[in-house]
Amino acid sequence: MEGRALSEQAPQEKPVLEPKRGLAEEIKAEHGEDVYRCYQCLKCSAGCPMTFAMDYPPSQIMRMVQLGLEDELLASKTIWVCLTCNTCSIRCPNDIDIALVIDSLRERVFQKGSKPAVENVALFHKYFLDNVRKRGRTFEGELLARYQLKTGQAFQNAGLGLRMFLKGRLGILPESVSNKKAFREIYRRVEERGGKK
C-alpha cells in the first residue's frame, strides 16, 4: 500500500546547472586559454603545492570556469593563495596555462570592485605592482615596509629582513631599469586594455 503510494508520487526533479559560457569565452578572447580543453585528469591538482590552503583545487577551478560560476570563483581563496609557480600549467596534458587563468580571475576581482577573499595577499599584489611601476624593478625594502606597516606586522619579520640584508638579498638603495619611459608605456598599455590601475 505504502509502496504504491510512493510509486504514484511524481519523481523528484534534480536541479540542473546550466553552463554559462561567457566567462570561458572572455578568458579565451583575452588570454588565448581554452578551458574547454580540460578533461579533468587532475594532474594539475596532484602537483599543486598549495591545495592545502585552497578552497578549490586548480582542476575544480577549471571546471567552475567551464560552468561560468563567476561569483563563486571571484569569492574563492584559491585565486589568492596560488603562487603562480606554473607547476599546474607545465603538467597539463592539454597545454592549458592554468596559472594564467587564475591570474585573470584575480584581475577580474579588481576590475569588478569585488572584495578579495584573502585581503592581505590582494594588498601585497597591489603594493608589488605599485612598487615595480616606479622603477621597473622591485625595491624590497620599501615594498615590505609599506606592506607590514599597513597590515600591522611592522616587526613580525624583522629578523628575516636582517638576515636577508646581511646576505646581500635586501638592498638599501632602489635600482631602476635604464629605460623607465618604455617601462611606463607597458603599464599604460595594460591599463588601457582594462588592466589593474
Q: Which of residues 15-44 bind ligand SF4 (CB under 6 A)?
A: 38-44
User: Shortest gap between Cβ of 98 and ligand SF4 (angstroms)?
Assistant: 5
Residues in contact with ligand SF4, total (CB under 6 A)?
Answer: 29
Q: Which of residues 128-157 bind ligand SF4 (CB under 6 A)?
A: none
User: Shortest gap between Cβ of 24 and ligand SF4 (angstroms)?
Assistant: 12
Q: Is 109 in the site for ligand SF4 (CB under 6 A)?
A: no
CB 139 within 8 A of CB 170: no
Q: Which of residues 69-108 bind ligand SF4 (CB under 6 A)?
A: 82-88, 91-94, 96, 98-99, 102
Q: Which is nearer to ligand SF4, 21 or 133 (CB)?
A: 21
Tell which one of 23, 33, 56, 58 touches ligand SF4 (CB under 6 A): 58
User: Shortest gap between Cβ of 3 and ligand SF4 (angstroms)?
Assistant: 44
Q: Which is nearer to ligand SF4, 27 or 92 (CB)?
A: 92
User: Shortest gap between Cβ of 33 and ligand SF4 (angstroms)?
Assistant: 10
Please return the burial class of 98, using the count of CB atoms within 10 Å of its CB with bins 0-12, 13-18 and 19+. buried
Interface with ligand SF4 (CB under 6 A): 38-44, 47-50, 58-59, 62, 82-88, 91-94, 96, 98-99, 102
